[in-house]
Structures are given as C-alpha cells and as structure tokens.
Amino acid sequence: MKERDELDRCDCNVIHEDVVNAVREKMPSEENLYDLAELFKVFGDTTRVKILWALDEAEMCVCDLAVLLNMTQSAISHQLRVLKQARLVKYRKEGKIVYYSLDDEHIKNIFDQGLIHINEKHWRGV
Amino acid sequence: MKERDELDRCDCNVIHEDVVNAVREKMPSEENLYDLAELFKVFGDTTRVKILWALDEAEMCVCDLAVLLNMTQSAISHQLRVLKQARLVKYRKEGKIVYYSLDDEHIKNIFDQGLIHINEKHWRGV
DNA sequence: TTAACACTTGAACAATTATTTATATTTATA
DNA sequence: TATAAATATAAATAATTGTTCAAGTGTTAA
C-alpha cells in the first residue's frame, strides 16, 4: 500500500523542493484560508451580490428587496440569513417591518476590485 | 392566476416605492452582477484560494502544488483549469513541465480586503 | 380576539460542483 | 521505438446549495 506522499511526489519536486518549502512556510493558517474561501463563497451568488449592491444604496426591508429583484420573500429571507451569518448585513425592526443595511464598509471595495478584474479581462478579449 | 408582481408586492412597497425605484435605476446591469458573482465563486473554494496564494509567492508546476497541498495531481489540474478560464492564472511549458503563475495583480488586493473583514469580525466576537 | 401583514424557518427538490478513478496526451529518455 | 514522466481530461460519485412550498412566528389593526 503506497503512502499519499509517495503517490503524488514526482521528480520535479526534488528540483523545486526549496521553493515549495519556502512557500509552505509563508502560507497563512489553514483556518484563515478556509474563512477567506467561506467569505468569498457568500459573494459568489448573483442574488446575494444584488442584495448587497442594493443595500449599499439604501436601507431596505425584505419585501422591498423581493420586489426589486423580482423574487420570493422567502428566497430573499433565506439569503439575508446567509449574509447575516457572514456579518455582512445588519437589521433593525420597526413594528412588523425589518430593515436591512450593510454591516461592512469593505464590501464596496471588494466589489470594485472584482469589477476591475472583469473589465480588464474583457477588453483583452474573451 | 396571480401575477408575479401582484404576488410579492406588499403594503410597504407603496411607502418605499421611491427608494426602490431609485435603487433600481442605479443598479449595474444584470450581466455585470452575474460576472461579479461568477468571479467570487472562483475565489469561494479552499483549494483554489490555496493555489492562488501559493502562486502569489512563486511560480510552480502542477506536481509542486499537489505536494504542497497534499492533493491529487488530477484534483489540482481540474482547479487550475477553472482558474485559467477565469483568467486568474497563466502558464508556460518547459518540456513536460507546466509552470503556473498569477495573471492578475488584483488578487492580493481582493484577498487582503477579505482578510480585513474576517479579522474585524473576529475581535468583535462571533 | 380575530384577521391581515411582514417575515422566518424547515423540508424537499433540482442543480451545481469538488474529488476520485481511470484513461489519454505530450514530451523526454533509454 | 518503447517506456516513463508530467499533465490533462472524461465519467462517476458524493456533497453542497439555491429556490420553492408549506407552515410557523410576532406585530398591528379591526
């Protein structure tokens, strides 16, 4: 029975061993990289991107978002739950209406960086 | 049979109509928001985040990445394909070895913004 | 108290996706 | 030319996920 290491190791690793080890030492913790991926997973959905974009413009209630995005209140509510858990939105209750707003000033920055990438790649021709 | 609009519209929309309409006008195109979500979807996987982070440190071949991340060459190759399609990495061939490297200077910026969010939320207590 | 409203939640379903396994391709070497 | 090395790819599987549907809160108003 072969070991994992033995299975995947190939000759070029001997040549590149120093490089690989140097990178390994500089790598952030497993936990940090996991959290980072989890955060981007939240941004990786059209509905949530739209919600965040909308909330960056104005505070809105669930029903407003449902009409704006032409979706079910339930679907919006489910996604707001995800955004809440990721600490990206906060809310305040006013009677039976729940108003949501952004809970992070970096969202616009992250979006802008993303758009820069998209636009750059676009005029380079896809 | 009720219409979609009629189904989801609720009383508060009448009050918030102006706000919702204003936001609707300012919203980026459907296509832009879709592309943005697609980009973040690529960042939303631990393996890909690790690969990008590693390639930001040094150019590496598929085999190096497999050893570094303790994963199958096949798995790495599959993810590199995704990153290639998203124009986040580029490659050069040297004999039978294929060296991959970053194809975008904004990746580090996006990661940093993400980490700022994570760390901020962390000391606020989860 | 009852009914309507705004919203939340849980289960079910369809769709997507990351990894594995096995096979194919390309290049270097014996 | 035959073999091995480095990588790519195709199909299969398991796991995750977004939306819908139905039922459930909690708040307001009649």
> Hey, what long-range contacts does A33-38 have (CB within 8 A, 24 or more apart)?
A33/B46, A33/B49, A33/B50, A33/B53, A34/B46, A35/B118, A36/B43, A36/B49, A36/B111, A36/B114, A36/B115, A36/B118, A37/B43, A37/B44, A37/B45, A37/B46, A37/B48, A37/B49, A38/A86, A38/B44
* Average pLDDT of the segment spanning A52-75: 96
Give contacts of B 68-107 with A, CB under 8 A: 68, 70-73, 87, 97, 104, 106
Residue A122 has pLDDT above 50, yes or no: yes
* Contact yes or no for B118 and A36 at CB 8 A: yes
| Protein-covered nucleotides on strand C (Cβ within 7 A) | 5-11, 17-22, 26-28
Residue A22 has pLDDT above 70, yes or no: yes
Per-residue model confidence (pLDDT) at position A120: 83
A41 vs B contacts (CB less than 8 Å): 40-41, 44-45
Per-residue model confidence (pLDDT) at position A124: 59
Q: Please provide the average confidence, as pLDDT, over all residues in chain A.
A: 89
Per-residue model confidence (pLDDT) at position A42: 98
ipTM rounded to 2 decimals: 0.90
* Contact yes or no for B60 and A16 at CB 8 A: yes
Residue A100 has pLDDT above 80, yes or no: yes
Of A33-42, A67-76, A88-97, B12-21, which range is least confident? B12-21
Which domains can be identified in chain B, with CATH numbers? Answer: 4-123 (1.10.10.10)
pLDDT by residue for chain B (126 residues), tens only, comes to 334 344 556 778 788 999 999 999 999 999 999 999 999 999 999 999 999 999 999 999 999 999 999 999 999 999 999 999 999 999 999 999 999 999 988 899 999 999 999 988 766 544
A35 vs B contacts (CB less than 8 Å): 118
Q: How far apart are CA B122 and CA B126, in angstroms?
A: 6
